[in-house]
Amino acid sequence: MDYLLGDLRRTHYSKDVNPDISGEEVLIMGWVHEIRDLGGIIFVIIRDRDGLVQITAPSKKVDANILEDLRALRKESVVAIKGTVQDAGKAPNGVEIIPAEVIILNPAKQPLPMDPTEKVKAEIDTRLNSRFLDLRKANVSSIFKIKANMFRTIRNYFDEQGMIEINTPKLVASATEGGTELFPITYFEKEAFLGQSPQLYKQMMMGAGFDKVYEIGQIFRAEEHDTLRHLNEAVSIDCEISFADDVDVM
């Protein structure tokens, strides 16, 4: 059945569906990752940002309307499924969900331009043209999760050191470091540049008496290159400390 979201709200992410809540009713939301219809039983794997969860629908236990809804699903459709958790050793996280309600929030058009499960490899042009599908792949989405955890750890460390996080301008009137080419832009009939370093602003904060500051932000460098490891836009982690020497920094 097709519904608007209305009062529907997720109760659990996939990682939270585990043996500790066996017997409880849950409502999960995500994308259809895999479907296997074996006649007497249907298996559907649902993917969300945290992983996979298995929906198991034995024809002897599940209402015929639910089975019909499951058979109508297509890979990468967005669904909400309400059901009861039960132990299942071979399923992801050791549990499965016996569905009581299947809600199709957004059916996927077929055929898809690429397969996020990577059973069929896609060319780089296809991946870039369908980037939102490419980002659903586990090895690609993990980059963002690792990056978020890394920044969280860095921020926690700096906070423990009593440092203040700042956000400096990225539209600048001139270079703040020598030896680096800048990207020029038009700023209301004047020339400006994309910032390549927060150095000047960090030093201003030291002069203002802030003592310890840091920034995690974008930097831009207009440098031609021949390698895949050189970025014109990157994330920089900068810090500045007053009343300190090389020993304190190390």
- Domain positions in the chain are 14-106, 137-249
Q: Which two tokens stand for residue 124?
A: 């780089």
| pLDDT digits 0-9 by tens, 124-138 | 999 999 999 999 999
- Which pairs count as long-range contacts for 220-229, CB under 8 Å and 24+ apart, including other chains? 220/170, 220/182, 220/183, 220/194, 220/195, 220/196, 221/180, 221/181, 221/182, 221/196, 222/180, 222/181, 222/182, 222/183, 223/180, 223/181
Q: Which of 11-20, 140-149, 173-182, 238-247 shows the lowest mean pLDDT across its residues?
A: 173-182
| Strand 51-58 versus strand 95-106 pairing type | parallel
Q: Half-sphere exposure of residue 173, counting CA atoms within 13 Å on the CB side? A: 3
- Count other Cβ atoms within 10 Å, centred on residue 92: 18
Q: Does the 137-249 domain belong in CATH 3.20.20.70?
A: no
Q: Which of 221, 213, 166 is CA-nearest to residue 194?
A: 221
The mean pLDDT of the chain is 93
Over residues 29-50, mean pLDDT: 97
* Residues 87, 37: Cα–Cα separation, whole Å: 21
Contact predicate 49/141, CB 8 Å: yes
Over residues 40-48, mean pLDDT: 97
CATH, domain range 14-106: 2.40.50.140
| pLDDT digits 0-9 by tens, 175-210 | 766 656 899 999 999 999 999 999 999 999 999 999
Residue the block writes with tokens 């990157």: 234
